[in-house]
Chains A and B, each alone.
Chain A
Amino acid sequence: MTQYQEVSDLLSVVNKCTKHPLAIVFSSYFPSELLDSFGFYTVTLPNLPIVDLPNADALLESFVCHPVRSWIEFLLRGEIKPALIVTQSGCDARVVLCAVIRKALDNVPCLTLSLPIVANEEKALIATKYALISFSKDVETLFQKKLDLDRLRDAIAKRQEIRSRCLNVFSSLEEYDSVEAYKYAIASQILPPEMFLEQPLPKKTANKGVYALLSGSSIPSIRFIEDIESLGIKIVMDDSCTGARQASRLVEDHTDPFYALAKSIVFRRLHGPTMIYEGREADVARIAKEKCVKIAILSIYKFCDPHLFEAPRLAEALRRASIFPVTIEVDSGEALLERNKTLLQTALESLR
């Protein structure tokens, strides 16, 4: 299996796949199958544990979260050659990214997919469908390429198979090696679909450690997971953009592939906090309870508003479910910071 551990690994994977033009996507919520069907090799960037960000800092304000700044830095280093860059609305930082990219890389086209943020509503579904159609028309115009609906259906089927495999792993995370599981999830967003489908499932391991929920945006790094588990914690439930959230998007069979894609976005089984969805905190707490979670790690990037807003209420919902919430702030560092280690160790001690 692809051992994504560092940026250099990601680079080597991406640079090896030269058969198709590269499309870089800045959101794990984006339906990659749309770009696959145009013949792109679609890579959804994970958080990149880059510490020095001189290029990004020259363009972006200091109060932009690390994932966004690391993506910009990665692109500006020029070590990969994308044919297209795609951003998606969702938070205040991401909506302006396209303009920043256009300014920095004027030879690479950049498109934004702008979607409604209301979950589980028919009106939002229809608006999402039209946003997807409009986006694919933009791609058609930009690359003088007609969308082939059969290819789209095929791409949808492949990506669904990928997400189903990931979801199976993340639904029974207690049986798997968490590090392997997160590598698997990241690989699902980096590797070309055919290559990923040839990958073996992550290793299964015996359960050990205090059962935990990991909630937050994309995970900072694989090392971060290793560090958490080295403290005697076993992540059995995931509520992150890297893992279960992106994997939980289910595209059903439908004669209209755009409708099916839109439905998978608006009626997702596990929404993140960027969506207007009333029961999220209670849902997360309920599932965590069912999974016998004892400790919940709310991993939040500095300046990530959606998660910062949610954290106090989510923590409260978890407390009500007798789960110990620990909010840790993560920034650029690849590893789990010492202060966060101390917080987690203290939480573990108080559980004993």
Chain B
Amino acid sequence: MRKKLQASKRLHSLIRNQILWTRFGHAIGKKVAWVTSGAPVEIIIANGIIPFYPENHAAICAARSLSQKLCAFAEEKGYDRCLCSYFRSDYGYQISNMSPLGKLPKPDLVLVCNNICGTVQNWFRITALHYNIPYFFVDTPFVDNEPKESQIEYVKEQLLEVSQAVSKLLGRTFSIKHLRTVALRSMKTLELWQNILAMGMHKPAPWTSFDAFVHMAPIVSMRGTRRALWYYQGLYKELIERAKEGISAIEGEKARVVWDNIAIWPVHRELRRFFEEKKVALVADTYTGAWNASSSLVEEDPLLGLAKAYLDILLNRGIDHREKVLLRLIRDFSADGFILHNNRSCKRFSIGQKVLREKVIQRFGVPGVIIEADMADPSLVSLEQIKQRLSAFFEMLS
């Protein structure tokens, strides 16, 4: 029997409070911003605005079996099924107001950064037009090799401009000091999160990526806040204890694997159980550790630190970089194999995975398997097929 993380209870109350905070934000005189997961949310937090993450919301809708209905609303409005299921779910929500979280407030602004994909710039523009609200955009050009000085400078200039514009919208004066405080806290939380993810290196692993997929919620939606830092301090402590006591996330851990891409939310629980049955620990993934933080740089120059951090997001880098990341995870987490979730909805994450798989196998000799599914649209997920494919793969690993 899996020993549950004690932090899970705190996580639930943290998220519940965040939802309440969002729902009643307007009543307490706060503005609400809809933000992409890769956007520099520090600007939002520093201005006292409540961030809300439609990507997280779409994942919750998928886990609560609401996505198919929501996607259908978007498709009726002419948005093709080939488009991202997070977008279709969210747009479906915008039209229908159907949500497992109850009635959410109308956003006051959107903050978008294209460092995670080309979808979000269109998605949030549609949102801004739907609600008739301001659209703030930070353009992060794709980094094929290493980030170039001119690219960093370009992002830095935009961060300043967006920070000033958001402050102006609230009738405030932009304060670099305030931004530094929030950015520093954010980077420290990210560094702590990296340490937490590294706990999967322990044998047996005290937690798995199935836990990380869920416990990443505060790092996505609350980074820069005191409560996120507090929460992760507690989680880290608990994981250290578990590692010391030899408490394993998977009883009788037989094999260790690494995951590439977003979780398959519609069957998240079922897959987790399946891994437990097979005694395979999902020890690391490329999804939850997508950020690259440097608190020392932020302390020195917050805009420069944030520019580098947000330009250097995993999905804004080429396949060669992702190959290095995957190799590092396989090596550092002593993985026996890797799983590439070929996610129909996330083209940025998924296109090139065939090449990525071959490269990693050639370079490292570790087996890898591709499973086809979707992060949110249940009509594109076949649990049985995934299980069959993974069963054969796990058989090979053992």
Q: Do A and B bind each other?
A: yes
Interface residues of A (CB under 8 A from B): 58-61, 63-64, 89-93, 95-96, 98-100, 102-103, 112, 114-118, 123-124, 126-127, 130-131, 134, 273-274, 276, 302-303, 305-306, 308-313, 315, 327
Residue of A nearest to B141 (CB): A114
Q: 15 A–B contact pairs at CB < 8 A? A: A60-B354, A61-B342, A63-B350, A89-B141, A92-B118, A92-B119, A96-B352, A114-B151, A117-B114, A127-B153, A130-B150, A131-B150, A305-B84, A310-B122, A313-B129
Determine whether the beta carbon of B137 is less than 8 Å from that of A276: yes
CB neighbours of A311 from chain B (8 A):
78, 80
Question: In the assembled complex, how far is the CB of residue B235 from the closest CB belonging to chain A, in whole angstroms?
Answer: 33
Is residue B300 within 8 Å, beta carbon to beta carbon, of the partner chain? no
Residue of A nearest to B84 (CB): A305
CB neighbours of A99 from chain B (8 A):
318-320, 352, 355-356
- List 20 additional A-B contacts (Cβ < 8 Å) besides A64-B351, A92-B348: A60-B354, A63-B82, A63-B344, A63-B351, A89-B142, A90-B118, A92-B118, A96-B351, A99-B318, A99-B355, A100-B352, A103-B355, A112-B142, A114-B141, A114-B144, A130-B148, A131-B150, A131-B151, A276-B121, A308-B80
B residues 148-181 in Cβ contact with A at 8 Å: 148, 150-151, 153-154, 157-158, 161
CB neighbours of A96 from chain B (8 A):
318-319, 351-352, 355
Is residue B117 within 8 Å, beta carbon to beta carbon, of the partner chain? yes
Partner of B118, one of A58, A130, A274: A274
Determine whether the beta carbon of B141 is less than 8 Å from that of A91: no
Question: In the assembled complex, how far is the CB of residue B312 from the closest CB belonging to chain A, in whole angstroms?
Answer: 14
Residue of A nearest to B119 (CB): A305
Determine whether the beta carbon of A115 is less than 8 Å from that of B318: no
Determine whether the beta carbon of B122 is less than 8 Å from that of A303: no
Residue of B nearest to A329 (CB): B80
Q: What is the bound-complex CA distance between A315 and B78, given in angstroms?
A: 10
CB neighbours of B154 from chain A (8 A):
116, 123-124, 126-127, 130
Q: How many positions in chain B have a CB within 8 Å of any CB in the partner chain?
A: 47
Q: What is the bound-complex CA distance between A305 and B83, given in angstroms?
A: 7
Q: What is the bound-complex CA distance between A324 and B359, given in angstroms?
A: 49
Is residue B2 within 8 Å, beta carbon to beta carbon, of the partner chain? no
Determine whether the beta carbon of B150 is less than 8 Å from that of A127: yes
Partner of A92, one of B123, B129, B342, B347: B347
Is residue B77 within 8 Å, beta carbon to beta carbon, of the partner chain? yes
CB neighbours of A274 from chain B (8 A):
118
Determine whether the beta carbon of B352 is less than 8 Å from that of A117: no
Interface residues of B (CB under 8 A from A): 77-80, 82-84, 114, 117-119, 121-123, 125-126, 129, 137, 139, 141-144, 148, 150-151, 153-154, 157-158, 161, 318-320, 342, 344, 347-348, 350-356, 358-359
CB neighbours of A273 from chain B (8 A):
122
CB neighbours of B129 from chain A (8 A):
313
Residue of B nearest to A88 (CB): B142
CB neighbours of B348 from chain A (8 A):
92, 95
Most central of A89, A98, A99 by chain B CB within 10 Å: A99
Determine whether the beta carbon of A95 is less than 8 Å from that of B142: yes
Are A116 and B157 CB-contacts (below 8 A) given A58-B354, A103-B359?
no
Are A117 and B121 CB-contacts (below 8 A) given A89-B142, A95-B142, A305-B83?
yes
Q: What is the bound-complex CA distance between A103 and B319, given in angstroms?
A: 10
Residue of A nearest to B352 (CB): A96
Q: What is the bound-complex CA distance between A311 and B366, given in angstroms?
A: 43
Partner of A308, one of B79, B125, B144, B344: B79
Determine whether the beta carbon of B353 is less than 8 Å from that of A61: yes
CB neighbours of B351 from chain A (8 A):
60-61, 63-64, 92-93, 96
Question: In the assembled complex, how far is the CB of residue A212 from the closest CB belonging to chain B, in whole angstroms?
Answer: 20
Residue of B nearest to A304 (CB): B82
CB neighbours of A134 from chain B (8 A):
148, 150
CB neighbours of B356 from chain A (8 A):
99
Question: In the assembled complex, how far is the CB of residue B351 from the closest CB belonging to chain A, in whole angstroms?
Answer: 5
CB neighbours of A112 from chain B (8 A):
142, 144, 318
Residue of A nearest to B78 (CB): A312
CB neighbours of A103 from chain B (8 A):
355, 358-359
Are A302 and B82 CB-contacts (below 8 A) given A96-B352, A274-B118?
yes
CB neighbours of A126 from chain B (8 A):
150, 154
Determine whether the beta carbon of A306 is less than 8 Å from that of B122: yes
Determine whether the beta carbon of B318 is less than 8 Å from that of A118: no
Residue of B nearest to A103 (CB): B355
Q: What is the bound-complex CA distance between A102 and B144, given in angstroms?
A: 12
CB neighbours of B143 from chain A (8 A):
114
CB neighbours of B320 from chain A (8 A):
99, 102
Most central of A117, A124, A310 by chain B CB within 10 Å: A117
CB neighbours of A124 from chain B (8 A):
139, 154
Most central of A90, A114, A124, A327 by chain B CB within 10 Å: A114
Most central of B78, B121, B350, B352 by chain A CB within 10 Å: B352
Please provide the 6 A-B residue pairs with the shortest distance between their CB atoms, ordered closest to farther.
Answer: A99-B319, A130-B150, A312-B78, A309-B122, A127-B154, A96-B352
CB neighbours of B161 from chain A (8 A):
123
Q: What is the bound-complex CA distance between A1 and B342, given in angstroms?
A: 45
Partner of A127, one of B114, B141, B347: B141
Partner of B350, one of A61, A123, A302, A327: A61
Q: What is the bound-complex CA distance between A303 and B79, given in angstroms?
A: 12
Determine whether the beta carbon of B142 is less than 8 Å from that of A61: no
Question: In the assembled complex, how far is the CB of residue A313 from the closest CB belonging to chain B, in whole angstroms?
Answer: 7
Q: What is the bound-complex CA distance between A5 and B82, given in angstroms?
A: 30
Q: What is the bound-complex CA distance between A113 and B389, given in angstroms?
A: 38
CB neighbours of B359 from chain A (8 A):
103
Q: What is the bound-complex CA distance between A348 and B198, given in angstroms?
A: 63
Are A123 and B142 CB-contacts (below 8 A) given A103-B359, A131-B150, A309-B126?
no
Partner of B82, one of A100, A308, A310, A315: A308
Determine whether the beta carbon of B144 is less than 8 Å from that of A61: no
Question: In the assembled complex, how far is the CB of residue A65 from the closest CB belonging to chain B, in whole angstroms?
Answer: 9
Are A306 and B77 CB-contacts (below 8 A) given A61-B354, A63-B344, A95-B348?
no
Residue of A nearest to B77 (CB): A312
Determine whether the beta carbon of A91 is less than 8 Å from that of B318: no
Q: What is the bound-complex CA distance between A112 and B129, given in angstroms?
A: 33
CB neighbours of B118 from chain A (8 A):
90-92, 274, 305-306
